[in-house]
Amino acid sequence: MNTADRTPADLLRSALAGDATRPLLTYYDDATGERVELSAATLANWVAKTANLLQDELSVARGERLALLLPAHWQTAVWLLAGAATGVVVEVDGDPAEADLVVSGPDRLTEARACSGERIALALRPLGGRFPEPPEGFTDYAVAAPGQGDVFAALDPPGPDDPALVVGGRTLTGGELLARARADAAERGLAPGSRLMSQLGYDSWEGLSAGLFAPLAVGGSVVLCRHAEELDAAARAARQESERVTHFAD
C-alpha cells in the first residue's frame, strides 16, 4: 500500500513498485474451467495497451463516458483500470445511447448497438481470444489491443477530483473511489499481502470493491470467481487453500 496514491491509476503503479511478479489478479470461470493468473506486470501491460487504444487509436478524451457492459472478468478489470489511467469515466451497465463509447461482451452486443460512438466488443474467450467472426459495427478488442504500446503516458492525466466511475447511479471521483476502497479494506480487515477471493459480480460497488479496488488499495491481491455456483463446498475449500486465500466475499 502507498498512502501517497491519489487516483485509481496510482494503485497499479504502487503494485508495480512493490513485487511486480507476484500474482495480483487470478481469474476463474467455473462454467468453462478457465483459470488466468496475472502478475502486476502482466496486468499493467494489458492496461497500458488498452489505455493506448483508447487515447491514441480511438482519440477518447478525459471526461468522456464509456458504457461498460461486461461481467466480472479479468478483462473487465483491465478496462476499469485503463479508464482510470486515461480519465475516461467508466459507467458500469451504463446506457450505450447516452455514452461516447461502449465496451460490450458477446451477450450484450444488441444493446450496445445503441451507442453512436465507438463500439468495442470482447469475446471473453479463454486466453483473451478473438471472435471467430467479428461482430459487424464493432472493433474486436482481441484484434486491436495486442498491437498497442506496452507503456502508457496520459496526454491529459486525470486528477483526484475528476469523475472516474459511475456505478449504481452514483458518480465517484478518483479520490472518492480511493477513499471508499480504503474504508472497505479496513472494514474487511485487509492488509498488505491479503488475498481476497470474490464471487461477487462487477455490477455493484460492493463487487467492484471486493473484486478489485479494496485489495489493490492496501497492497493485496484478488481471486475473482465467475459462475462459482458451479462449485461444491469441497471444491471451494480446496481452491481457497491452493490460492492461499485470506479473505472471502460472496
| pLDDT tens-place string over residues 157-191 | 999 999 999 999 999 999 999 999 999 999 999 99
Average pLDDT, integer, range 84-96: 98
Counting other chains too, the contacts that 133-140 makes at CB distance below 8 Å and 24 or more residues apart are: 135/106, 135/109, 137/113, 138/104, 138/109, 138/112
CATH of the domain at 98: 3.40.50.12780
What is the predicted pLDDT for the residue at 67?
98
Strands 23-29 and 34-39 turn out to be antiparallel
Residue 56 is assigned to a structural domain of this protein = yes
Q: What is the pLDDT of residue 127?
A: 86
List, for residues 122-151, the tens digit of each pLDDT value.
999 998 999 999 899 999 999 999 999 999
In this predicted model, which residue has the larger pLDDT, 120 or 230? 120
Q: Average pLDDT for residues 52-75, to the nearest whole number? A: 97
For residue 37, what are the β-bridge partners?
26
Name 62's Cβ contacts closer than 8 Å, sequence gap at least 6.
86, 87, 88, 154, 156, 157, 158, 162
Local confidence band at 5 (pLDDT 50, 70, 90 cut-offs): confident
Pairing of the two strands 195-198 and 221-226:
parallel
Mean pLDDT score, 41-61? 97
Per residue in 237-250, pLDDT (tens digit) is 999 999 999 999 99
Partner residues linked to 247 by β-bridges: 196
Residue 16 has pLDDT above 70, yes or no: yes
**Residue 20, domain extent:** 8-249
- The pLDDT of residue 4 is 73
CA 16 → CA 12, 227, 234, distances in Å?
6, 29, 34
C-alpha cell of residue 177:
473511489
What the block records as the C-alpha cell of 88 is 475516461
Q: Is residue 57 part of a domain?
A: yes
Structural domains in the chain (count): 1
154 within some domain: yes
- Please tell me the pTM assigned to this model: 0.97
Looking at the domain assignment, is residue 131 inside a domain? Answer: yes
Q: How far apart are CA 173 and CA 188, in angstroms?
A: 22
Q: How confident is the model at residue 2 (pLDDT cuts 50, 70, 90)?
A: low
